[in-house]
Chains A and B, each alone.
Chain A
Amino acid sequence: MEQPMKHRRKEPQNLHELGVGQCGVVTEIRSTGAMKRRLVDMGITPGTTVYVRKVAPLGDPIQINLRGYELLVRGSEAREILIRTGV
């Protein structure tokens, strides 16, 4: 059944917009240079499913789960990781 309009929210576009407890599939990493390399080295490659576990008490960084382990990423980096939700 389709949700009523007022409950429908804008689909999250990047990892930062994903709420706690939500999953997304990485589509693109916008960061550049060493940071981009570090992110893919840690396993954030296109096609990887990422789950947002927690937000730090002060609102940043965020704790994500991917490939069976937990990783901390700052909001500024999470914004550069584009994702899609749903299947």
Chain B
Amino acid sequence: MPYKAALVGNPNSGKTSLFNDLTGSNQYVGNWPGVTVEKKSGFTAGKEFEVVDLPGIYSLSPYTMEEIVTRDFIIDQHPDVLVNIVDGTNIERNLYLTLQVLELSIPTVVAVNMIDQVRGGGGDIDCDRLSAQLGVPVIPISAKTGYHVDKVMKTAKKLAGTNWRAEDVVRYDSASRQMLHEIVSILADYCDDSDRLLFYAGKLVEQDENILRRLKLPEEAIQAVDRIVALFLSKAEYGDRETVMADIRYRYIEKLVAGSVKKPENSGALSTTDKIDKVLTNRFLAIPIFFLIIFLMFGITFGPVGTFLQDCVDYLFNDILAPAVSRLLLIANAPDWTHSLLVDAVIGGVGGILTFVPQITLLFMFLSFLEDSGYMARAAFIMDKIMRKFGLSGKSFIPMLMGFGCTTPAVMAARSLENEKDRNLTIMLTPFMSCGARMPIYALFAGVFFEDNREIVVFSMYILGMAVAVLSGILLSKTVFRGVFSPFVLELPQYHMPSFRAIMLRTWEKSKGFIIKAGTIIFAMSVVVWFFQNFDASFQMVSNSGDSMLGQLGKWIAGLFAPLGFGTWQAAVSILTGLVAKESVVSTMNVLYADGGSISAALSQVFTPLSAYAFMAFTLLYMPCISAFATIRREMNSMKWALATALYQTGVAYLVSLLIFQVGSFVTGML
């Protein structure tokens, strides 16, 4: 059996680099059960260790999903050894988590990362001295160059499974130590988990609700703890109960650091990061540069390069694979329906979805670069004031902007938001950004009904989408997400050149996830939709999809759309097939309306300019295509949330369309 090791550390401490060093490409990415926090694990070479990469956190407080996941994992799963990675260039704040981790009495190796950078600047960290004071091995490493990484795991192997008690190691100052030990001795009578007593004692001082629930202490024990804390607070100048533990730890860290850390000699001079920020977050240049970066990323992903690669994939499926399969089926004398199923539904459906892969890959290469280099935090700094107005944070801007290209990768990009509320709200609003696939619908209708002001009408769709997103953001953050804690207290990490391998690993992970999804859920849904589109209720294949079950369904629900001005079954069926991909709305209308003739003539008989506009608004706002829906489900890690999102979007679409048509009819009636 391999030992179970867990990596803990602050965000930006190089935790992911170390994890990649240890596991190579031998890693698995998933979610922690029940939450949308990413879980990574993998095996070291030789399978000596199974390594779990815990989420990057600053503290073991109970306020974010990431912190709770980490705490619960360490307490309940008992890893054999913890590797605590510490950013050597920012050691004071990083050691704050270290002290909390040590309280858990799990054998721990502290790895001081970026030691090359510390030494390069003329500073140094006396790891032996730090080790003597912390009571655990402290090893200087560089995850980027691989320096001493093997030593970390060798030390971890020696420690794995050994027993030790935090009370013997974690010292603090004498008054605080005494207070904690008094609480520990009370706890010892009620709690079986004797190794975790010091951790629990600290959490009781902080009045941590989760721990109070977990321990189920009787009232007299809680009162005894309260008396001990009150007495301590009355004697020392430590502020209040909520902050006292933080204060104790930071004071202790200041002492540790004073003895073991030599600050760089040129600490007054401008660092490279400061110099870059002089330009990138400059008062006047920051916003133009930000938009230039976005423009480049957007231009390459959804512009010529991305489109070319997309066309290549499309060519592969529709011009090589599809005819080949057709020919094979012909030779094999297979029945017509197999042709329709394999070529139209499977190759057409899955192939259509796989054409997104090049764009997703490109987009994630850019996003990983922005994230790993440290620019994403600057983007949040620049855009926060605007995004906050509708209940989001600065980091929501990039995913939402990507939504103008394609909803699916945009929703995946929301992963960069650390906070669950901001992430879910961003995911819910991104589909309102008018994606590229909706363009053919606007082009068709604007061409037929608004020939003279085509551009203005199409542009108004984009504005409508943004307006609905803004209003929904305000509405949802004041209702559904009301009172959810989403702090914007964000570290601005130093810039550094991301490693090629890290970017490739991350990009591969995203693309792989998408390809798997295309091969499973989207494949299944394409087949189901194909079935309903081609068969009637007695399972006879039909030549006109108006007679199919989907057509029947369209006829049933057509009445629903009458108040919106387009209560025809053809429009209803188009809306249904638009769920496969929004551009299908146009191809379906071509089949159902044109009937060999001109689609424009047919449309202008059925729609008025007003009902056409209402229809465009509906197709803009209603639930996104199945690819986007499946991604939303995956990223929110909840079918319930994904369905609620789809329902909300469709509801909004209905209301807005209704408003446009009814108010429009009223106004034109008055004229």
Interface residues of A (CB under 8 A from B): 28-29, 33-43, 45-46, 48, 54-61, 63, 67-74, 77
Contacts and interface: CB of A to CB of B under 8 A. Distances in A.
Q: How large is the interface on B (under 10, 10 to 19, 20 to 34, 35 or more residues)?
A: 35 or more
Given A41-B58, A42-B93, A72-B491, 17 more contacts: A29-B243, A34-B485, A35-B485, A37-B63, A37-B242, A39-B489, A54-B281, A56-B281, A56-B286, A56-B382, A58-B386, A61-B384, A69-B90, A71-B489, A72-B381, A72-B492, A73-B489
14 contacts: A37-B243, A43-B92, A43-B93, A46-B239, A48-B250, A56-B281, A61-B381, A63-B492, A68-B263, A69-B92, A71-B489, A71-B491, A73-B489, A74-B384
B487 A34 contact: yes
Given A37-B63, A57-B284, A71-B489, A43 B385 contact: no
B419 to A, nearest CB: 11
A72 B418 CA distance: 15
B375 interface: no
B269 interface: no
Given A38-B487, A57-B284, A69 B93 contact: yes
Interface string B515-559: 000000000000000000000000000000000000000000000
A58 B385 contact: yes
Contacts of A33: 485
A58 B382 contact: yes
Contacts of A45: 239, 243, 246-247, 250
Interface string B361-397: 0000000000000000100111011101000000000
Nearest to A48: B250
A40 B247 contact: yes
A71 B492 contact: yes
B148 to A, nearest CB: 23
**Which of B263, B380, B487 gathers most chain A CB within 10 Å?**
B487
Interface of B: 58-59, 61, 63, 89-93, 96, 206, 239, 242-243, 246-247, 250, 263, 277, 281-284, 286-287, 377, 380-382, 384-386, 388, 485, 487-493
Given A34-B485, A34-B487, A56-B382, A41 B59 contact: yes
Nearest to B243: A40
Contact of A72 (B284, B485, B490): B490
A69 B491 contact: yes
B168 to A, nearest CB: 26
Contacts of A37: 59, 61, 63, 206, 242-243, 246
A17 B394 CA distance: 23
A60 B385 contact: yes
Contacts of A56: 281, 286, 381-382, 384-385
CB-based closest 4 A-B pairs:
A41-B59, A70-B492, A40-B246, A58-B385
Given A45-B246, A72-B377, A74-B384, A34 B490 contact: no
A42 B58 contact: yes
Contacts of B381: 56, 61, 63, 72
Given A34-B485, A74-B488, A67 B93 contact: yes
A74 B487 CA distance: 9
A62 B282 CA distance: 13
Contact of A34 (B63, B89, B92): B63
Contacts of B61: 37-38, 41
Given A46-B247, A56-B384, A61 B488 contact: yes
**Which of B58, B239, B377, B382 gathers most chain A CB within 10 Å?**
B239
B646 to A, nearest CB: 31
B262 to A, nearest CB: 13
A41 B96 contact: yes
Nearest to A57: B286
A68 B90 contact: yes
A73 B394 CA distance: 12
Contacts of A36: 242-243
